[in-house]
Structure 1
Amino acid sequence: MRERREVWTAGEAYERYMGRWSRLVAEEFVGWLGEGDGGGYRLDAGCGTGALTAAAAAHGRARAVVGVDRSAGFVAAARGAVPAAAGFVVADAGALPVRDGALDAVVSGLALNFLPRPDAAVAGWARAVRPGGLVAAYVWDYAGGMGFLRCFWDAAVAVDPSAAALDEGAGSRSAARSRCAPCGRGRDWWTWWWGRSRCPRCSAVSRISGSRS
């Protein structure tokens, strides 16, 4: 089956659509994580226009913070908007070009649901962090309705019914039922704190399966 890839390319358009919200949630997420180990190397997978990268650089004590995104347009926008404390690279968040155990943390904000194989992406992030490192991610609550965007998409579909095919919430409502393969913990696995890169219930190392039934 052909994989579906969603690619945002225009940083300014994304900022008008989502930027005000992505910056707010990034600040909340970084505050929730805490500073963690000082002096480490952190990577923001699927950095977009750099909201989470900027928050991690501003509030943490990492030696280096790098954002990666496969969209050159997003990376260019991030480089122009985020302070020099962070760096940016055009690369695939679903296949990080780093060696095993090279990072202290991989974080990701509002990106995992756009990757064609989120389970493989999370496994790759776990591979890239050192033992005892951190893998943490978040997406919008599509399964719960995501009210502020639901109004937008309902209006768009009312004007042009073909817009329904572009509604990112439609596919993600089923993806939100994904589960850890060994223990079955489900629904919101992508918001888990993967201490030591493991499932907090059963300690499985990033073994995730998706249920779309």
Structure 2
Amino acid sequence: MGGWWADGAAYERYVGRWSRPVATAFVRWLDVPAGRRWLDIGCGTGALTQTLLDEVDPAAVLGVDPSEGFLEQARAQVTDPRAEFRTGDARALPDGPFDAAVSGLSLNFVPSAQEAVAELHRVVTPGGVAAAYVWDYPHGLELVRYFWDVAKSVDPAAAELDEGTRFPICDPEALTELWSGFDDVEVRPIEVPTVFADFDDYWTPFLGGQGPAPSYLATLSAADQDAIRDLLRFRLPSGPDGQIVLSATALAVRGRAKV
């Protein structure tokens, strides 16, 4: 993930705050009974782990993530004794077995998603659930889509960095293929509103340096940053009170480990 993900607080202000309603819808869709042992891969600041604790009464949840900065915030925010957080790589998961293994908004950042899914096969108990969700970068994450469309008009080189083209697994057919080794595979979209109080509420998180778009923005001259900001202010749909109402769509996939 390079230097994109290190500051948990900056991530929360950028896209983390929108991940919680997606996590809730995702967990309810999985419909896993209470009392199971879960693995949360790429757990970040703990949003999905906390949702599991709130929604499904698990026996235990182990969260793994390569970012110590994120894990520090996860440990501070998620205080339930059933949750544990460790530094870890999606391509070398802790030994299970786990009744369910999930990944929220992180699988596309793994250098080899195929290796990560192979690890899911290894650690999930036969008949157990393996599931993930990623942002629909090409079409459904409007807060980022507006940014890249404007950035490319200011700096054509930005096209190479646009998540909509960089992450080909963020696609229903690609996720279905990635999960082809599981049984009962399903893919579905999960859409949530993303409402910004005003333009500053939208723009300021892009200055935090967390994620591909903010990291790219930090490399630009002040003049180019100002050009992107001013064009976004013009293009974003805002109401009479300055509120900006957008939406975010995630693509979720689930399957069951072969018995």
Q: Which runs of 5+ in 2 are unaligned?
A: 189-250
Is residue 2:190 matched to residue 1:194?
no
- Distance in 2, Cα, partners of 1:144 & 1:133: 31
Give me the CA root mean square deviation. 3.0
Q: Deviations over 1:85-135 (max 9, x none)?
A: 42211111222132xx42111011101111111111011012101111110
Q: Deviations over 1:161-185 (max 9, x none)?
A: 5554543332124663532568xxx
Secondary structure, aligned partner of 2:135: coil
The one of 48, 53, 75 equivalent to 2:49 is 53
Secondary structure, aligned partner of 1:83: coil
2:247 aligned partner: none
- Taking structure 1 as reference, are residues 137 and 143 closer, same or farther at Cα in structure 2, changes over 3 Å only? same
Q: TM-score if structure 2 supplies the norm length?
A: 0.64
Secondary structure, aligned partner of 2:102: strand
Q: Which has the higher strand share?
A: 2
Q: Deviations over 1:11-46 (max 9, x none)?
A: 111111002211111111112122x23322101000
Amino-acid identity (%)? 47
Counterpart AA for 2:252: T
Cα offset, 1:62, TM superposition: 1.2
Answer yes or no: is the 8 Å Cα contact 1:54–1:83 preserved in 2. no
Q: TM-score if structure 1 supplies the norm length?
A: 0.77
- Distance in 1, Cα, partners of 2:169 & 2:77: 34
1:128 aligned partner: 123
- Taking structure 1 as reference, are residues 65 and 115 closer, same or farther at Cα in structure 2, changes over 3 Å only? same
The one of 12, 15, 18 equivalent to 1:15 is 12
Higher relative contact order (CA 8 A, sep 6+): 2
Counterpart AA for 1:129: V
Cα offset, 1:61, TM superposition: 2.0
Counterpart AA for 2:85: F
Q: Deviations over 1:29-88 (max 9, x none)?
A: 112122x23322101000111111110111112111121100011101111112324221
Answer yes or no: is the 8 Å Cα contact 2:139–2:164 preserved in 1. no
Q: Which runs of 5+ in 1 are unaligned?
A: 199-204, 206-213
- The higher radius of gyration belongs to 2
The one of 136, 142, 151 equivalent to 2:137 is 142
- Correspondences of 1:1-213 after superposition (within 5 Å): 7-34=4-31, 36-85=32-81, 86-98=83-95, 101-158=96-153, 163-173=158-168, 176=171, 177-178=173-174, 179=177, 191-195=252-256, 197-198=257-258
- Distance in 2, Cα, partners of 1:133 & 1:41: 10
